[in-house]
């Protein structure tokens, strides 16, 4: 009787132990964000390093949406180094399937910074001189389905940020700045990434709509 009980107990532990150790499959799409190319002409007052960080903002927007499981940057960079994909060209429809399987992704998001520009303006408000600098950022991206290697979605995002300086008469007092700075550039890039993911025509809404249509 004791042996029978111990046998049942051991079997119970084995079954439930394996079940507990088994990974829980996520219901959320697993995506990997490939570093974006910088195709835009970068103005002299913006560094190429600042411009190339746009893919980090796309990554953050996907994570913060809480609608995707995003492959960690460190793992992605390790695979990129091992496969030398960073030197052989961007991931596209031909390479997405193999790369996606390597990192465990269902979708690959790749794209480019297509526009980055600055504009200055001057005027007067209530007797105060107002000068502004505006930074405009534009990104385009594709969402490639790993299983089929086809472009599942394509989209774009736009962002801008403004710096303003106000001058009292004779420029005795100056408030703010009209110079392009680090924070302004990154705010424009972050806005473009957020628009790409969360905008009215962003990846998040359109992906949900397509999933609903498929399930209907």
Cα–Cα dist 68/49, whole Å: 27
**Residue 7 has what pLDDT?**
44
DSSP character string of 56-79: HHHHHHHHHTTS-EE--HHHHHHH
Cβ–Cβ under 8 Å, residues 174 and 69: no
**Which domains are delineated in the chain?**
26-115+138-156+182-215 (3.40.50.10610)
Q: Please, which residues have CB within 8 angstroms of residue 108's CB and are 6 or more apart in sequence?
A: 31, 32, 34, 91, 96, 99, 100, 143, 144, 146
pLDDT, average across residues 18-32 = 59
C-alpha span between 83 and 79 (Å, rounded): 6
pLDDT tens string 127-173: 677 888 999 999 999 999 998 888 888 999 999 999 988 877 655 56
Cβ neighbors of 79 (< 8 A, separation 6 or more) are 85, 99, 102, 103
**Rounded CA separation 134/12 (Å):** 66
Q: What pTM, to 2 d.p., does this model score?
A: 0.76
C-alpha–C-alpha distance, residues 153 and 145, integer Å: 9
Average pLDDT value for the chain:
78
| pLDDT for position 194 | 95
CB count within 10 Å of CB 25 equals 6
Average pLDDT score over residue span 57-86: 83
Bin 29: left if φ > 0, else alpha if -120 < ψ < 50, else beta.
beta
pLDDT at 109 over 80: yes
H or E, element range at 48: helix 48-51
- Tell me the CA distances in angstroms from 47 to 12, 113, 164, one per residue in order: 61, 13, 21
Average pLDDT over residues 111-121: 91
Identify the band that residue 31 occupies on the pLDDT scale cut at 50, 70 and 90.
very high
How many whole angstroms separate alpha carbon 157 and alpha carbon 211? 22
Query: Residue 180: its pLDDT value, please?
Result: 82
Rounded Cα–Cα distance for residues 190 and 46 (Å): 15
Q: Grade residue 87 by pLDDT with cuts at 50, 70 and 90.
A: very low
């Amino acid at each position: 009787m004791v042996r029978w009980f111990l046998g049942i107990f051991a079997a119970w532990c084995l079954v439930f132990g394996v079940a507990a150790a088994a990974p829980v499959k996520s219901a959320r799409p697993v995506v990997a964000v490939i570093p974006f190319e910088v195709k835009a002409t970068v103005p002299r007052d913006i560094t190429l390093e600042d411009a190339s960080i746009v893919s980090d903002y796309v990554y953050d927007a996907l994570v913060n949406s809480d609608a995707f499981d995003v492959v960690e940057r460190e793992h992605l960079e390790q695979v990129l180094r091992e496969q030398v994909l960073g030197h052989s060209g961007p991931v596209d429809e031909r390479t997405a399937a193999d790369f996606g399987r390597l990192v465990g992704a269902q979708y690959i998001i790749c794209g480019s910074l297509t526009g980055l520009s600055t504009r200055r303006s001057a005027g007067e408000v209530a007797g105060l001189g107002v000068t502004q600098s505006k930074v405009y950022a534009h990104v385009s991206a594709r969402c490639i389905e790993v299983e089929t290697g086809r472009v599942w979605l394509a989209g774009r995002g736009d962002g801008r940020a403004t710096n303003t300086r106000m001058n009292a008469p004779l420029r005795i007092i100056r408030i703010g700045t009209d110079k392009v700075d680090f924070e302004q550039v990154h705010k424009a890039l972050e806005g473009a990434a957020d628009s790409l993911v969360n905008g009215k025509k962003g990846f998040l809404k359109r992906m949900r709509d397509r999933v609903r249509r498929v399930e209907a």
